[in-house]
Amino acid sequence: MRKWSIIKLITAGSLGILWTLLSLIGLPITYFTNIPGVQGALSFIFAGVFWVLACLIIKKFGAATLMAFIRGILSLPLNYFGPPGFFQKY
Examine residue 43 and state whether it is found in any structural domain, yes or no.
yes
**At residue 80, does pLDDT exceed 90?**
no
Examine residue 85 and state whether it is found in any structural domain, yes or no.
no
Helix ranges (DSSP H) in the chain: 6-23, 26-33, 38-58, 63-74
Examine residue 1 and state whether it is found in any structural domain, yes or no.
no
Examine residue 83 and state whether it is found in any structural domain, yes or no.
no
Residue 18 domain boundaries: 6-74
Examine residue 25 and state whether it is found in any structural domain, yes or no.
yes
The pTM of this model reads 0.74
**pLDDT of 85:** 53
Cα–Cα distance for residue pair 65/36, rounded to 1 Å: 27
Examine residue 87 and state whether it is found in any structural domain, yes or no.
no
Examine residue 20 and state whether it is found in any structural domain, yes or no.
yes
Burial zone of 38 (CB within 10 Å; 0-12 exposed, 13-18 middle, 19+ buried): buried
Examine residue 81 and state whether it is found in any structural domain, yes or no.
no
**pLDDT of 7:** 92
At residue 13's C-alpha, the angle toward residues 48 and 10, to 5°, is 130
What total of structural domains would you count in the chain? 1
**Residue closest to 75 by CA, chosen among 49, 42, 33, 52:** 42
